[in-house]
Structure 1
């Protein structure tokens, strides 16, 4: 498990490209028959990727729950969100199977002991992207398909940001302790996400970019609104965004991204908007 500590906005002003990437970028999420995980001390969110090919993977692979979390099993005091961005897969939670097609999600509640991950086709393996946050109450495990997710259309072709937001783990769909999670898909010819940008002092966020064609990148913008920086992100990489930072991006092609949020509340519209003319 990769451990990241919280960086403050004063120090970040002095970071060069390499230091920014070390602090905020998660470069690799998927490896065959493995679970890759990054623990951020910013609201203690854990970002994970699993790609079962020839094996059934236990969620806790490579995670020392006693050492890393101080518990006996991963979800003893946590909740979990999963979105599959690969081929058809299955998640088995305490013996109950949930089939996840591409862009299907699953919320797994606190106190579930065993989480197993597998693909239905080794030639087209599932890619389970996962976010986990601390939880104080157990809520029901639930499968969320695209038709169940709360759908919001935003932006326009004229501003190059026409997009559809699918809110999977969201108050309009189900109850959780603090985790929110969903997927935003940009239309062909649209490259800007989350613009005009915002911060939300009461929550942090992780963006994971995917569906990015080969040899294309996203320029992810972060930092205080008047002290912006950028991180160049390739397909299936993620970036950690502290509460004080803007989080938006512009790609060399259209793309999709999964957003995960943790913090004081679950109010999706709780944002501190920034005028485009005020960005520096």
Structure 2
């Protein structure tokens, strides 16, 4: 498990491109036959990917970093399949996840494992996990059951649909909020005009991108912006003080996950366009 420590905006102002990438960009999340994880000290979020091929993969706690006997001893987790059909087994019960389906697993479940239906076209499970102090039921949310919210316009190059999976009016959790945004063809911008939310942090995972495609992910304080060049199936840590917006070389999809002070989706501080620098 890779560890990332929290940073502050004054530090970030002086970072080089390499330093920005080391602190905030998560590469190599999806590795065939492995589970990869990054533990961020920003709201204690764990971000990872599981790509089972020929054998199932078990989600296990890192005893040194987590101090737990099993992964969900003090945590909850949201998992979205961005690959072909796969299966998640939770304490002996099997859940089938098609592409873009989500599974929430609550505090206290001891055994979680992943497997693919077809090793030639494996499932690709992306997940975010946050600390939890209350247990909620394990629930599967198919993309057809998620709450859609249509936003933007082709004239602004940001026509998109937001699907909410784990949120106060949908699947209940202790503090994790999670969903997915799909940009329509010929649209490239997300979350612009931008915002911050000082009461919680966020992680973005970009996917459904062509091999030669990139997203320029903008971050930093509104008056001190920086950018990261992000490629397919890479993720970005967004601290509470940072904007999180992006523009791609083509349309793309991204998964967002939040944890922190509250779960109110609309709790954000909008940034006027004239204040951006």
| Shorter-chain TM-score tier | over 0.9
> Where does 1:108-147 land on structure 2 (aligned, <5 Å)?
108-147=105-144
Q: Structure 2: how far apart are the matches of 1:29 and 1:169?
A: 22
Q: Structure 2: how far apart are the matches of 1:172 and 1:276?
A: 30
Q: Residue 190 of structure 1 aligns to a residue in which SS?
A: coil
Summarize deviations over 1:74-104 as a string: whole Å, max 9, x none.
1000000000000000000000000000000
Match of 2:64 among 45, 64, 67: 67
Counterpart in the other structure of 1:101? 98
Q: Residue 20 of structure 2 aligns to a residue in which SS?
A: helix
> Where does 1:116-195 land on structure 2 (aligned, <5 Å)?
116-195=113-192
Match of 2:205 among 182, 200, 208: 208
Runs ≥4 in structure 1, deviation > 3 angstroms?
Answer: none
Counterpart in the other structure of 1:38? 38
Match of 2:232 among 235, 246, 256: 235
Give how far 1:174 is off.
1.6
Is contact 1:150-1:172 (8 Å) kept?
A: no
User: Could you say what the CA RMSD is over the residues aligned between the two structures, in angstroms?
Assistant: 0.6
Q: TM-score, normalised by structure 2?
A: 0.99
Q: Structure 1: how far apart are the matches of 2:119 and 2:54?
A: 6
Counterpart in the other structure of 1:47? 47
Is contact 1:91-1:115 (8 Å) kept?
A: yes
Summarize deviations over 1:150-198 as a string: whole Å, max 9, x none.
1101110010000000001111212110001111000101000001100
For structure 2, the residue ranges without an aligned partner over 5 or more in a row are none
Number of corresponding residues: 277
Q: Is the aligned partner of 1:26 residue 2:26?
A: yes
Q: Structure 2: how far apart are the matches of 1:116 and 1:17?
A: 37
Q: Structure 1: how far apart are the matches of 2:168 and 2:79?
A: 16
For structure 1, the residue ranges without an aligned partner over 5 or more in a row are none
Q: Structure 2: how far apart are the matches of 1:231 and 1:124?
A: 30
Q: Structure 1: how far apart are the matches of 2:95 and 2:23?
A: 35
Give how far 1:36 is off.
0.3
